[in-house]
Amino acid sequence: MKHEDSVLLHTQGRIRHITLNRPRALNALNHAMVLHMAEALDAAEQDGAVVAVLLTGAGGRGLCAGGDIRSIRDDALAGGRASLDFWRDEYRLNARIARFPKPYVALMDGIVMGGGVGVSAHGSLRIVTERSRIAMPETGIGFVPDVGGTYLLGAAPGELGTHLALTGDAIGAADALLCGLADRFVPSGDLPALVTALDTCPTPEAVVATVAHHAGPAPAGELAGHRDWIDTCYAADTVEEIVERLDGCGVPAAKQAAATILAKSPTALKVTLTAIRRARRLESLEAVLDQEYRVSSTAFVGPDLVEGVRAQIVEKDRNPRWSPAALADVTDEDVARHFAPLGDGELGLGPAAGAGG
């Protein structure tokens, strides 16, 4: 497949359609796709005949399963830097989407994970369906939520975002709406009619009204009923104390969350908790993306990302050997190293770039 074929573009009426088109890879993002999307947004913004952008995923299984982490592992093993260049452009695209001046409609149908969240949940009209499964599962591969994920999860009500960041759990439509990761629910069977209606919209205002007209109440979610123990347990200062509270609060779902967390990379867990808390204090998405780039750059050269992708994706033995292997062995210095300024290597999106957060 040629690079340009992995992102399909066409204009219908006054809507610019962007379709992620790697269905056999669940539309996983690579560098060429990110650059192609950025070019498409530039063109759509400058084209006065285009009133909105519509993002969809080919293949019917999901919008996007994330970045191409197998190639990122290969790059890390080879001592390369291509992944850092990819993240630089990907994070810039995430910020571009968030600031796009026309309606950016993302159909978050099916699987939407990692980088897929980055190209959808920063949009202005984010639509979920009963098939949506949305997650930031990075701690399970020895990585840390990025693509603005710590910004989005840090802004979720109470400690819901902390719960999702540490466990990597996937959520459905109602919980995505509750957490602020989506705006509207439309049944998957109604998406073709919605797209047809959008293609007749003459103005941005008509796009917004059309989405609202097709939207309805989402089926019940799960997180709202768990707010008490989630907000109490995840308010603790450390991952160790969070796990202790979860394990000891007497709620089966909390005990399961503790077990889920303990299977993740200890380093990634501690860095993730710090990243979420720091993100809440930063002034903009751009400043958070700068922080995430520092974290990603450090995680890229650490042992757990390579090992996590091996265990989950390459060999699929689901038995990662984390280093360090225990939370107690991850020092404050280990965590702090991920947030150190990169000097000339900074992403540089935020006004305080290079200040270390």
Catalytic residues, by residue number, are: 67, 115, 138, 146
Q: What is the DSSP string of 79-107?
A: T--HHHHHHHHHHHHHHHHHT-SS-EEEE
233, 245 in Cβ contact below 8 A? yes
Find the radius of gyration of the CA atoms of the chain. Answer: 20
Number of residues in the chain: 357
DSSP letter, residue 307: H
Q: Give the 3-state secondary structure percentages of the chain, helix then strand then coil, rounded to 5.
A: 50, 10, 35
| Bond into 324 cis (ω within 30) | yes
C-alpha span between 33 and 119 (Å, rounded): 11
Going from the C-alpha of 315 to that of each of 65, 70, 306, 307, 308, the distances in angstroms are: 19, 11, 12, 10, 10
Write the CB contacts of 203 (distance below 8 Å, at least 6 apart in sequence). 51
Write the CB contacts of 74 (distance below 8 Å, at least 6 apart in sequence). none
Residues pairing with 111 in the sheet: 62, 133
C-alpha span between 118 and 38 (Å, rounded): 13
Q: Which amino acid is at 168?
A: G
Going from the C-alpha of 21 to that of each of 28, 29, 64, 88, 200, the distances in angstroms are: 9, 10, 9, 22, 24
Token digits of residue 338? 């991920």
